[in-house]
Chain A
Amino acid sequence: MRNPLTALDKPALFAAGSILLILAVGSLYTLSTGGGLTMLSPAYLSQQLQIAAFLGLIAGGLMMVILLGHIDLSIPWTLTAAAMMATSVGGPAAVPVALAVGLAVGVVNGLGVAWLRVPSMIFTLGVNTVLQGLMVLHTGGHAPQSRSTGLMEFLATGHVLGLPMAALVWAAVSGLLVVLLTRTAMGRAVYAIGNRESAAYLSGIPTNRVIVGCFAICGACAALAGCLLAGYSTKAYQGMGNAYLLPGIAAVVIGGTHVLGGRGTYTGTVLGTILIVVLQSVLSVMQMPDAGRQIIYGLVIIAMLFAYGRDTGRAG
């Protein structure tokens, strides 16, 4: 049986190589400016891992949806809504409330895509806007509690055995997703649907249930990322998720998941996430002006997709 975890495919190798290259370029820069090898210090790497965890959670959930050949554009406000609801409830219920919000939004997305057959790009964009409106209403009349709970802060910034807690959360979720994708009937169904939904349906796979399930997972992952982000900055605020949609999609696709679904490995998504985080960090260390940073960032994504677009771009 094919095992998407251990089989490092070409895009994953490419991403891994690019990460090393970026770190090397960054180190050369720090050496030349007399800063030493700060990029290879455990403190720096551990900090990068912590930041990567936020994006990694989002990318992991998104990957489930992209593997189906769909997309979830409601990530920014799913994340924000989950975090804001969590902080306004507060106490021990905060994280479960956030996850419930994420699951609920995901189920709504899934129902719209699977049963109403609205293209996911449109439906999730609509849901994103509705959520934005709801959150404006929520903060309109009064000022709800926006301070994150202790648990959220621990999950985001704590350390266990010298490892950042956020990275451990990411690892735990990743483990669940890998098992789901490689060892369960649902995982097989996800790949089958992404490749050829008609064949999957006619094989007796409950395709609609699988689609709803994947959107629900995607929503829950975004909600968890929202909890961590709120914990990291000690409060939930409007617009906190805005910066994560495009990097999330980019991480999945750079990791080798086919944009039209059906192919991709979880390892690739992890590497894609790390690549993006390291790239952003190196560009800021090099004190690149914001405009230049964005241009390089965008060009790198396009270049990576172009580099292996040839062998993954087969008409399926």
Chain B
Amino acid sequence: MTDATAPLLELRDVSKSYGGVHALRNVDFAGRAGSIHAVLGENGAGKSTLMKIVSGVIRPDTGEMRLDGRPVAFASPREAVAAGVVCVFQELSLVPDLSVADNICITDPPRRFGLIDRRAQRRVAAALLDRVGCPGLDPRTRVKDLPLAQRQLVEIAKALGRNPRVLVVDEGASALSGAELARVFAVLREVRDGGALVIYISHRMNEIRELADRCSVFRNGRHVETFDAHTRGHDDIIRMMIGREMTGVFPAKPAAPRDYPPAIRVDHLSWDDRLRDIGFTIGKGEIVGLGGLDGQGQRELLLALFGVLRGVEGTVAIDGRPRRIDGPAAAKAPDIAMALIPEDRKTEGLVLAMSVADNIALSSLGGHGGGILIDRARLESDVESMVRSLQIKVGDVNRAVATLSGGNQQKVVLAKWLMTKPRILLLNDPTRGIDVGTKQEIYALLRRLADEGVAILLFSTDLAELIGCCDRVLVLYRGGIARELAGDDITEMNILGSAFDVALTGSPGPARAAGAEVRP
């Protein structure tokens, strides 16, 4: 591997935006044959968008891609595969109701007399499964009967079956550990030694340390730097991922940490294998953040508290009394008064086809005086005052909520729940895809609510938001609380360090993270 080697895969000046949001901006990327190239960055840095372009799932707005020095433009994943670019995606591409063998050979099954030769297909599948370290797996098993770790192995076997020259593994080994992971690493090294380029995306720093030859760091849709692995330490890499762009958009926090009377106390909360033994309290008037990388159980935790998930273990006490919350209707009842701003405002937060007024009233119907009949005049004035106090920019509240901008839509969701006068407010990434001005208003609103005594649990994928808004931050890793940060300890280094499950120099090690690597 010398610098004289021409890159196998090269992207020049590639940009991609979704409705005005830049996912990638003028990105250059080059990967050489015979290397394992790690791509790093925090959530939303543009890694997945880049890989979707490489594998033909989406097309870039501008810029070009070269394979072997020749310009290519894949119109579909099928063309990319034909050119030797194969992907193992985080969201598995297997068909659950087909057998392992059917899945592995799904695009090009061996044929005999025009029909699929099932025996040959099973042989091919068995050989590939053997290679990834699953020799015992019967190729006739249906994929839906396999645990996640084995599905990932099948997915990798499927990719190997296509003889890749560029193999992209996008979080494709996230459920693996121990011997399985070691076996996959060995396979990836084999693929590399066969002269292919392996692009490896993972949030686990120790894997990258072990596997990668080269690293590229991305931040906010831009390429930051590419360097040989082992030339930089963890601290350097994390600093590169964070960057520096903090401004005064956040309201002032209370000067000194106060003693908050507890509003909600959670003990030993577990669900499936996604949440493990979570315990914390939130005080009245306190904003607690939920941090960590995507998919470490933050969303599940919020849903579990709101009573949406079935089979949740553990206890939740509201104002000191243990309560069983079996759904949103129970959660919003006045004796609990909990509210959840859900993840996806278009499908979960709003009824898009209904009017702004109807949406704002949706959670508090029946709470506007009168008996069975809705008191229209009172409802109308309640809605009007909510529109004013949140400064929702809408000409006519009878217009469909779908016509509003994203920021104003999110304000409608907030207004809907503020109408119920919540004492506990859960928020699932409330500022995603919202303009800075509205974000600022929402931060100020949260602080105002906290000052009025509302207990707030805020999950955000935006680090700056956690740091700027929260009195305390719980960092989740693989369904458990890896670390709890308060006051001046809430820094990018500490949050990202615990999120990636590495102990950084100069900070106390994460107390419970060690156990988190163990598979269930």
Query: Which residues of A pack against B, CB within 8 Å?
Result: 1-2, 179, 183-185, 188-189, 191-192, 195-196, 198-206, 262-263, 316
Contact = CB atoms under 8 A, between A and B. Distances in A.
A179 B370 CA distance: 14
Contacts of B404: none
A20 to B, nearest CB: 30
Q: Please classify the interface of chain A as helix (H, G, I), strand (E, B), loop, or mixed, using the class held by over half of its residues.
A: helix
Interface stretch (B87-95, B242-250, B326-334): B326-334
Interface in B343-385: 347-355, 357-358, 361-363, 365-366, 372-374, 376, 379-380
Q: Which 4 pairs of residues, A with B, have the shortest CB-CB distance?
A: A185-B365, A204-B332, A204-B328, A185-B366
Interface string B81-102: 0000000000000000000000
With most chain B CB atoms within 10 A of its CB, the pick from A1, A2, A201, A206 is A1
Contacts of B365: 185, 188-189, 205
Nearest to B341: A202
B177 interface: no
B421 to A, nearest CB: 13
Contacts of A185: 365-366, 374
B351 A2 contact: no
B398 interface: yes
B430 to A, nearest CB: 14
Given A2-B398, A185-B365, A192-B362, A204 B351 contact: no
A199 B344 CA distance: 9
B42 to A, nearest CB: 28
A188 B416 contact: no
Contacts of B306: 202
12 contacts: A1-B398, A184-B372, A191-B351, A192-B354, A199-B347, A202-B306, A202-B308, A202-B340, A205-B362, A263-B353, A316-B352, A316-B353
Interface residues of B, number: 34
Contact of B331 (A204, A263, A316): A204
B32 to A, nearest CB: 45
Given A184-B372, A188-B361, A196-B347, A203 B416 contact: yes
A206 B366 CA distance: 12
B420 interface: yes
Given A1-B376, A203-B363, A196 B352 contact: yes
Contacts of A199: 347-351, 362
Contacts of B361: 188
A196 B350 CA distance: 8
With most chain B CB atoms within 10 A of its CB, the pick from A188, A192, A198, A199 is A199
A188 to B, nearest CB: 5
A204 B416 CA distance: 11
Given A188-B362, A189-B365, A192-B362, A204 B420 contact: yes
